[in-house]
A and B are shown apart, each in its own frame.
Chain A
């Protein structure tokens, strides 16, 4: 920027406040996840026992459902002008998210019954921390999506309230993307 002070109006951005605020929040969230992942990798280097065999195929089914929800969300945002249809699609997105959370819980239950709790090994400490924080993100997002679905179904949150849906959409795609990383790290990769 030069020091000239032309009285030009400032470029007010075209991004909605909601989207901008959520993007900033997700920057911070990305830092949290990054640090947890880095810590987990670092500790895994020193883990006496490597990564155990987790249920890859079962988790893959739930993961695909979660990733599919990014598609339904995209469709819901494309069909925003048709309140009922977009409402149903938002609801579907939220339900897919809840299914994923249920899958995570069921997997935890199986692991704990097999004797793998948080405190059993270094790997599982990180595993539960990461999957737990992620499942919490999915749960909160899914509940918000269901509220959004109910509102859209009744033709609320029109174009004037674009920021809300923008922000939630951004959040949901971010959470799905994080799961790609976590899935590769915890289930596919066999450790150092």
Chain B
């Protein structure tokens, strides 16, 4: 097909208007695209590392290169893959779910995205100088001169300040949007669950990111101006305190919107309202507060005083309670529901199992002797990959399959989607389940090779092979996303028959989001619209109290 000059011009103009857009939906999609791109890069980095670890004594990478790889992998996945994807979903969905026309500050929104993109570019420009290799946590004094001489660490710090600023601005935007731009009639306690979680998540971001900025400023004063904050007479522990005061809330920042997506998906495919709405939302608030109160559990092996260790062990066990409340509520939502096993639901169910497993190993760290035994081993790696991949990534994929029809107007391919799901699930569990065992056997993390101890080589081989299986699954998802754009079945406004506001508008939504807002009188405005004889807001009891029964008209499989 030859493109005529006019068509090329139109295409260029289309691209330019896309890049210069301040529409929250476009920015949300840009965030998702950026996140996907870096997810691919970070995934390839992980595969290279897995190849190096496939057999004991391998020599694919040198030790120093391996350090650079896991530093870039961690930084990329956290700041450039997971956070942009979650903020992308927040950006796209939150105004739609609360019936707003756009975000409170559309231009600030675009600025936040572009400064994040600039940060990503900066991080990878460091490759020209010698990449950062002090780990994503950059512990002082390793991250100080003379231990990290190349400019890589400076690039890394500058990139993080940019990305942190972008996230903070987006978060402020989301909070103000939530507080001031809800549809008439929609109280805070009527908002869809995802909006709740994105809102609380933004509050955490506003308070956590500045801690990272403070630490990075001090680090740069040390590195560039010869200061004494963390080394040369300063305190290396101070860095750890400040870094984890940001870093632990950060892991909750990476899971909250994912929980929000799961809370949207499960009720739709179980054909029941979410069970215990107030508790799911309220436990989120508890987590927002507690996420700051547990940060020193990353430092149990440092040698803090016993009372401090005990206090943080206790708070770490505490934070499992609101998390457990959520899991129980999701399971209770499934209880006697009328479940449809669509691809998003499959991902959500896998999420439940894997996230719970990751959570349980997480609580095991709160027991000090266990932590001292397994800290800095592959047990930790297995734990946080179970919550970040088995949790967040699966929730993201669930949300992606669920909302793709809303974003593009077309359904994703079903067979391809399910095939990819099984590859990813089997692959993922193959990679990380065995790493629990490796960690308990004492294999340290962040080492580029290991001795040929009994079982280590075999388990690592299982891990590496599974990683490629999972990679194949993710490639299938990517193919599905691209192909369905043209060939997918036309979705219509509400393909899953969901009841929240984002499904009230066309797919994809027009500029300005809604041509006509349905009246909002309860948590499920579309249900009220479709069933004027039995609307939620007329029910005597709390509307989600279905007494363990599903409403007959919601029954998917007639008994």
A binds B: yes
Could you list which residues of chain A lie within 8 angstroms of chain B, going by C-beta atoms?
A: 1, 3, 5, 7-10, 12-13, 17, 20-21, 24-25, 27-33, 35-36, 39, 42-43, 46, 117-119, 121-122, 125-126, 128-129, 133
Q: Are A35 and B214 CB-contacts (below 8 A) given A28-B207, A128-B221?
A: yes
Sample of 15 A–B contacts (CB below 8 Å): A5-B190, A7-B521, A10-B187, A17-B176, A21-B108, A28-B168, A31-B207, A31-B214, A33-B214, A35-B211, A39-B238, A42-B235, A46-B235, A117-B226, A119-B226
Q: Identify which of residues 492-528 in chain B touch chain A, using a CB-to-CB cut-off of 8 Å.
A: 519, 521-523
Q: How distant is the Cα of A175 from the Cα of B527 in the complex, in angstroms?
A: 50
Q: Identify which of residues 302-330 in chain B touch chain A, using a CB-to-CB cut-off of 8 Å.
A: none
Pair B228/A39 contact, Cβ less than 8 Å: no
CB contacts (< 8 Å) of A20 on chain B: these are 175-176, 179-180
CB contacts (< 8 Å) of A119 on chain B: these are 225-228
Q: Residue among A32, A33, A121, A128 with the most chain B CB within 10 A? A: A32
Pair A5/B221 contact, Cβ less than 8 Å: no
Residue in B179, B180, B187, B221 whose beta carbon sits within 8 Å of that of A125 in the complex: B221
Q: Are A43 and B209 CB-contacts (below 8 A) given A9-B184, A10-B188?
A: no
CB contacts (< 8 Å) of A5 on chain B: these are 190, 521-523, 536-537, 543
CB contacts (< 8 Å) of B460 on chain A: these are none
User: Chain A: which residue is nearest B537 at the CB level?
Assistant: A5
Q: How distant is the Cα of A8 from the Cα of B182 in the complex, in angstroms?
A: 13
Pair B187/A8 contact, Cβ less than 8 Å: yes
Pair A32/B213 contact, Cβ less than 8 Å: yes
Pair B537/A7 contact, Cβ less than 8 Å: yes
Q: Are A7 and B226 CB-contacts (below 8 A) given A21-B176, A31-B214?
A: no
Q: What is the minimal beta-carbon distance from B100 to any residue of chain A, in angstroms?
A: 12
Q: How distant is the Cα of A75 from the Cα of B121 in the complex, in angstroms?
A: 45
Q: B186 near A: Cβ within 8 Å?
A: yes
Pair B176/A3 contact, Cβ less than 8 Å: no
Q: What is the minimal beta-carbon distance from B165 to any residue of chain A, in angstroms?
A: 10
CB contacts (< 8 Å) of A125 on chain B: these are 221-222, 227-229, 234
Pair A129/B238 contact, Cβ less than 8 Å: no
Q: How distant is the Cα of A139 from the Cα of B241 in the complex, in angstroms?
A: 30
Interface string of B183-214 (1 = CB under 8 A from A): 01111111000000000000000110111011
Pair A24/B537 contact, Cβ less than 8 Å: no
User: Chain A: which residue is nearest B521 at the CB level?
Assistant: A7
Pair B234/A122 contact, Cβ less than 8 Å: yes
Pair A24/B172 contact, Cβ less than 8 Å: yes
Residue in A1, A7, A128 whose beta carbon sits within 8 Å of that of B225 in the complex: A128
Pair B227/A129 contact, Cβ less than 8 Å: yes
Residue in B176, B186, B214 whose beta carbon sits within 8 Å of that of A36 in the complex: B214
CB contacts (< 8 Å) of B229 on chain A: these are 39, 43, 125-126, 129
Pair B206/A24 contact, Cβ less than 8 Å: yes
Q: B215 near A: Cβ within 8 Å?
A: yes
Q: What is the minimal beta-carbon distance from A63 to any residue of chain B, in angstroms?
A: 23
Q: B136 near A: Cβ within 8 Å?
A: no
CB contacts (< 8 Å) of B234 on chain A: these are 43, 122, 125
Q: What is the minimal beta-carbon distance from A175 to any residue of chain B, in angstroms?
A: 15
- New A-B pairs, 16, CB < 8 Å, besides A7-B185, A32-B211: A1-B188, A7-B521, A20-B179, A21-B108, A21-B176, A27-B206, A32-B210, A32-B213, A39-B218, A39-B242, A42-B238, A43-B228, A43-B229, A118-B225, A125-B221, A128-B227
**Number of residue pairs across A and B with beta carbons under 8 Å?**
124
CB contacts (< 8 Å) of B105 on chain A: these are 17, 21
Pair A32/B214 contact, Cβ less than 8 Å: yes
CB contacts (< 8 Å) of B13 on chain A: these are none
Pair A28/B206 contact, Cβ less than 8 Å: yes
User: Chain A: which residue is nearest B232 at the CB level?
Assistant: A119
Q: What is the minimal beta-carbon distance from A34 to any residue of chain B, in angstroms?
A: 8
User: Chain B: which residue is nearest A118 at the CB level?
Assistant: B225
User: Chain A: which residue is nearest B234 at the CB level?
Assistant: A43
Q: Residue among A12, A24, A121 with the most chain B CB within 10 A? A: A24
Q: What is the minimal beta-carbon distance from A149 to any residue of chain B, in angstroms?
A: 22
Q: B104 near A: Cβ within 8 Å?
A: yes
Query: Interface residue count for B (Cβ, 8 Å)?
Result: 50
Pair A118/B221 contact, Cβ less than 8 Å: yes
Pair A25/B218 contact, Cβ less than 8 Å: no
Residue in B168, B190, B238, B521 whose beta carbon sits within 8 Å of that of A25 in the complex: B168
Q: What is the minimal beta-carbon distance from A16 to any residue of chain B, in angstroms?
A: 9
CB contacts (< 8 Å) of B190 on chain A: these are 5
Q: How distant is the Cα of A128 from the Cα of B228 in the complex, in angstroms?
A: 11
Pair B180/A17 contact, Cβ less than 8 Å: yes
Q: What is the minimal beta-carbon distance from A131 to any residue of chain B, in angstroms?
A: 12
Q: Residue among B172, B214, B537 with the most chain A CB within 10 A? A: B214
Q: How distant is the Cα of A25 from the Cα of B523 in the complex, in angstroms?
A: 31
Q: How distant is the Cα of A135 from the Cα of B217 in the complex, in angstroms?
A: 14
CB contacts (< 8 Å) of B206 on chain A: these are 24-25, 27-28
Pair A21/B235 contact, Cβ less than 8 Å: no
Q: Are A43 and B225 CB-contacts (below 8 A) given A5-B522, A13-B179, A122-B233?
A: no
Q: What is the minimal beta-carbon distance from A50 to any residue of chain B, in angstroms?
A: 14
CB contacts (< 8 Å) of A31 on chain B: these are 207, 210-211, 214
CB contacts (< 8 Å) of A118 on chain B: these are 221, 225-227
Residue in B182, B215, B245 whose beta carbon sits within 8 Å of that of A10 in the complex: B182
Pair A35/B226 contact, Cβ less than 8 Å: no
Q: Residue among A28, A118, A121, A128 with the most chain B CB within 10 A? A: A28
User: Chain B: which residue is nearest A18 at the CB level?
Assistant: B105
Q: B107 near A: Cβ within 8 Å?
A: no
User: Chain A: which residue is nearest B542 at the CB level?
Assistant: A3
Q: How distant is the Cα of A30 from the Cα of B536 in the complex, in angstroms?
A: 43
Q: What is the minimal beta-carbon distance from B178 to any residue of chain A, in angstroms?
A: 11
Q: Residue among B182, B188, B225 with the most chain A CB within 10 A? A: B225
Pair A129/B522 contact, Cβ less than 8 Å: no
Pair A1/B189 contact, Cβ less than 8 Å: yes
Q: How distant is the Cα of A29 from the Cα of B169 in the complex, in angstroms?
A: 12
CB contacts (< 8 Å) of B542 on chain A: these are 3
Pair B210/A28 contact, Cβ less than 8 Å: yes
Residue in A8, A24, A39, A121 whose beta carbon sits within 8 Å of that of B175 in the complex: A24
Pair B536/A39 contact, Cβ less than 8 Å: no
CB contacts (< 8 Å) of B242 on chain A: these are 35, 39
Q: B173 near A: Cβ within 8 Å?
A: yes
Q: B278 near A: Cβ within 8 Å?
A: yes
Q: How distant is the Cα of A27 from the Cα of B209 in the complex, in angstroms?
A: 11
Pair B235/A133 contact, Cβ less than 8 Å: no
Interface string of B221-253 (1 = CB under 8 A from A): 110011111000111001000100100000000
Q: How distant is the Cα of A27 from the Cα of B521 in the complex, in angstroms?
A: 34
Residue in B209, B228, B521 whose beta carbon sits within 8 Å of that of A28 in the complex: B209
Q: Residue among A1, A9, A35 with the most chain B CB within 10 A? A: A35
User: Chain B: which residue is nearest A132 at the CB level?
Assistant: B221
